[in-house]
Structure 1
Amino acid sequence: MGGKAKPVSSSRQIHYSKRISLLFSAIFILLVFGYAGVVLFLQGDHPALPELTALFVSLMLVMGAAWNWSLRRQVTSFVDTLDEMVDRAIYGREKMTDFEETLLSSMEHKLLRYIEISKANEQNLETEKNRIKELISDISHQTKTPLSNIMIYSQLLAEVPELDGESRQLVSHIQSQSEKLEWLITSLVKMSRLETGMITLHSTVNPVIQTITRAVSHIYTRAESKQIDIHIECNHLTKARHDPQWTSEALFNLLENSVKYTEAGGKISIVTESNEMFTRVDVSDTGMGIPQDELKHIFKRFYRGHSAREYEGIGIGLYLTRKIISMQGGFITAVSEPGRGTKISMFLPQI
């Protein structure tokens, strides 16, 4: 270690500390018993007794100061040795001690054992992570191909002019359920990739309005079909450190919920505000709202409130949103009141 004197070996340090302790103990015992013997010999009325007492007190004070200095040196030396030992263990350098029956030697071997176990666990985790990556990729590939075929065949079947009304209705159900299954598989794959670290978010300082516009463009058609007005209030100069693609995905999940749970003719507002640390993006709607006892659970994986179960969904949209925002150093909050709508706020870091 640069600029630091190399500490003595652990065995020499232990022997040195024991000798110092024995020396101070012997001197202390001699002083106490010597003074007691002199007092008994002089019978307490000798004129030299005050001077002897003062001398004894002075010697005890000197002994205490010397003992304190010695202990501080021992502690400093022990800490320096321990620091050097930790550095050697971390960087795989040669051990400081052999198999000695000392405290430092025991600590060093336990530390080395702990580091070996940690490295082995880290390697196992990395291996398991790679296996999960391969499994997710296989699942994604193996399910997308047959599902795409089902959707294509159902579309071709719907174009057959000889189908009667009941058959066309059944084909329509197949198409609808296939689309839901495709969305479900895509969402589960995204969630798995985020949780296993397969996806890396690249956060840079970007204008927030572009991210908001991208998210709104994907939900606008659905909102228009329900005659839901989307109002955006965002300064074009407002910026935040975020990944535009994934943050847009998170914002889309919020907007999708707002459109789903807001009655026709309702309103959705997107308002931004910046301070020194965060840029806040509020998504407010005039929807059905969320009861207070359910509000703390809405960001959990697969959670769906009692009043939301009549609507389609599996409860991973808000979970994915919180995961995406937290991975960028931000956080998310929600306030709501049944019958009066919901406001969910995303806080994106400035630095």
Structure 2
Amino acid sequence: MKTNSPPANFKQIHRLFLLIILILVACFIGSIMFLYGFDPTLLQLTSLFIICILATGAVWVWLWNRQIAIYIQTLDTAIERAIHDLPPLTNYEETALSSMEHKLKRYIGMAKANERNIQTEKNKIKELISDISHQTKTPLSNIMVFSQLLEEMPGLNENVRHYIQHIKAQSDKLDWLIQSLIKLSRLETGMISLQQIEAKPLIQTLTQALSQIYAQAENKQITINIDCGTHILACHDVKWTSEALFNLLENAVKYTPHNGQISVLAESNEMFTCLHLTDTGLGISSEEIPHIFKRFYRGKQAREFEGVGIGLFLSREIITAQGGHINVISETGKGTTFSVYLPQR
């Protein structure tokens, strides 16, 4: 809603000047009466003069306010026309308003050109990522398939079988690394959009994430305890939140020794649903906690295990994009608790 009334600070200035004028008028009348006594004619002339001064001042203030309102309205119209790429309002006049309008129009044009360039670069990156994903998938799949076929051939000695297993392990690692980098690049370039963010039971998302790490946990005889009721809801995207939780749980399994334990506890409050993921693993030193969510960062103890330091960064990006956040509490040698907070609405 547009208004032509002057700003509040102008009103305060007007009131201040009006008060000063009234004080001066009172002082003037008091001085006249003190010097010349009570003279009706002189008092009438003085009063008429003061009324004229006040009326002139009131007209001047009204005109001033009107000019300011017209100027602001004209400037607002000029800005709207510049935003919508319409012809200039002032038509290259030699005025400050015309200069301001054309500078603004030039700035908006530059901003739109930069926006188009950024969008073009983003499209190129999207095409490059898609091309990399497509070009690496086929040869890597072939390597993994041929490795499997070689391993199944009869009569292989132990050294050859060992080399084949090493090729398979490195191929799996390379496949995981490529997929993680592609996911990260897609997330940062906007190719991945978290559009299906709505209140859903958290147990479904958690089950989807846990199903991917159960085999690893069983191999290390790690016990997983889950406390998450079906009534606990969170506003989230199931697919990508599951990916974030999988990264956290995979780290928990990786850094927890044999016969360890992982606990998953979900609870709700007025604003957030919190998921606490606690392990009995190596733990993280207090000096390293501020850095663990950085891209490609790996702690001193984590360097003994396979990985490149993408999982925690990707998890935080996914949770943050949904209006949530992650907290970490850890102690070296006693385990770690990642607390994932997701909004309820």
TM-score by length of 1: 0.83
Q: Does 1:254 align with 2:248?
A: yes
Change (3 A) 1:253 1:71: same
The 5 Å alignment of 1:27-42 reads none
Of 298, 301, 305 in structure 1, the residue corresponding to residue 292 of structure 2 is 298
- Equivalent residue number for residue 190 of structure 1: 183
Specify which of 206, 209, 215 is matched with residue 221 of structure 1: 215
**Where does 1:14-163 land on structure 2 (aligned, <5 Å)?**
45-47=35-37, 51=43, 62-163=55-156
| Structure 1 residue 128, shift from structure 2 partner | 0.9
1:230 equivalent in alignment to 2:224: yes
2:239 is the alignment partner of 1:245: yes
From 174, 182, 205, the counterpart of 2:167: 174
Match of 1:314 in 2: 308
> How far apart are 1:65 and its partner, in Å?
4.4
Secondary structure at the counterpart of residue 240 of structure 1 = strand
Quote the Cα distance in structure 2 between the aligned partners of 1:3 and 1:65. 24
Paired letter, 1:215: A
Q: Could you tell me how far 1:174 is from its partner in structure 2?
A: 0.8
**Paired AA for residue 349 in structure 1:** P
When residues 66 and 342 of structure 1 are mapped into structure 2, their CA distance, relative to the original with a 3 A threshold, is farther
Deviation at 1:68, TM superposition (A): 3.7
The answer to which of 231-240 and 208-217 deviates more is 231-240
Equivalent in the alignment of 1:200 = 193
**Hey, what's the Cα distance between the residues in 1 that align with 2:122 and 2:293?**
25
Aligned to 1:25: none
Q: Which runs of 5+ in 1 are unaligned?
A: 6-27, 29-34
Report whether the alignment pairs 1:325 with 2:325: no
Q: Which residue of 1 aligns with 2:10?
A: none
Q: Secondary structure at the match of 1:187?
A: helix
Q: Secondary structure at the match of 2:288?
A: helix
TM-score (norm 2): 0.85
Match of residue 16 from structure 2: none
- Matched residue, 1:10: none
* Aligned residue in 2 for 1:16: none
Unpaired segments ≥5 residues, structure 2: 5-20, 22-27
Q: Let me know the Cα RMSD of the aligned residues.
A: 2.7
Q: Percent identity?
A: 56
C-alpha distance in 1 between matches for 2:57 and 2:145: 91
Aligned residue for 1:280? 274
Structure 2: distance between partners of 1:65 and 1:224: 88
> Residues of 2 paired with 1:181 and 1:304: CA distance?
18
Instruction: Say if 1:155 and 1:79 are closer, same or farther in 2 by CA, change over 3 A.
Output: same
Amino acid across the alignment from 1:226: K
